[in-house]
Amino acid sequence: MLRKTILACALSCALVLSGLSYRGTSAIAFAQTGSGSDLYRLNYFSNANTTGAPDAAVRIANPGAASNEATGDNGDLCAMIFVFSSDQQMSECCGCPVTTNGLRTLSMNKDLTSNPSGSGAKLQNGLIKIVSTQQNGTAPSLCNPSAACSPTPNLRAWATHVHGANPAFTATEEAFEGSNLSSGDFASNAGLVARCSHITASGNGAGQCSCGTDN
């Protein structure tokens, strides 16, 4: 039996933008208020790449509130995605464009856990973090999770949770939870951007997730 639970988070945030540098890469410093926002979201996954288990999905939507007719900003954003193993190691990362009023759907098995960094095995359980940012590249690579970018709230996300066979695998869907994001979490030497840059530095493609379908 499929149960679908959607959790809504509607908490305010404020961004204070200034320059921040670390080991040759510049990023944006910011402050955030509240216990969660549309800027930084996270969720867990389980039973990925498991025999007999269905593939889970992550869905990311852009409500379009970041658009500004006065400045000509169309509101298109990037979902900077960071996938962690259950022992807190970043396994994959990627940046996926999400257009205003658009929906992006990613496969857990094919897009988010099929290309682990180094010689790591495909993950079965772990954590997904998504940061909503302005686009920081040019076509066709509009979103680069290992380069300087400006966090900008608006994206929403949901994930399928696959539960163990008892007697059969079941699935539910839940919204990503909002959380606070500091410059230390995101743009420091040990932050998400730097860790993504480190795992993708080999140039062989390992550690880079893919963006699924835009539909």
The reply to whether 4 falls in a domain is no
Residue 136 is assigned to a structural domain of this protein: yes
Q: What is the CATH number of the domain that holds 142?
A: 2.60.290.11
For residue 133, the model assigns a pLDDT of 95
Residue 43 lies in a domain: yes
Confidence at residue 72, expressed as pLDDT on a 0 to 100 scale: 62
0.95 exceeded by pTM = no
**Three-class secondary structure assignment of the chain:** CCEECCCCCCCCCCCCCEEEEECCEEEEECCCCCCCCCCEEEEEECCCCCCCCCCCEEEEECCCCCCECCCCECCCEEEEEEEEECCCCEEEEEEEEECCCCEEEEEHHHHHCCCCCCCCCCCCCEEEEEEEECCCCECCECCCCCCCCCECCCCEEEEEEEECCCCCCEEEEEECEECCCCHHHHHCCCCHHHHHHHHCCCCCCCCECCCCEEC
Q: Is residue 104 part of a domain?
A: yes
d(CA 55, CA 164): 13
Confirm whether 19 is domain-assigned. no
Q: Residue 61: give the domain boundaries.
A: 35-202
- pLDDT at position 3 is 39
pLDDT confidence of residue 166: 83
pLDDT class for 34, splitting at 50, 70, 90? very low
Q: How many domains does the chain have?
A: 1
Question: In the predicted model, what is the mean pLDDT of residues 146-159?
Answer: 94
**Per-residue confidence (pLDDT) for residue 41, from 0 to 100:** 95
- 10 versus 147: the higher-pLDDT residue is 147
- Structure token digits, residue 171: 């699935």
Per residue in 52-107, pLDDT (tens digit) is: 999 999 999 999 887 776 666 789 999 999 999 999 999 999 999 999 999 999 99
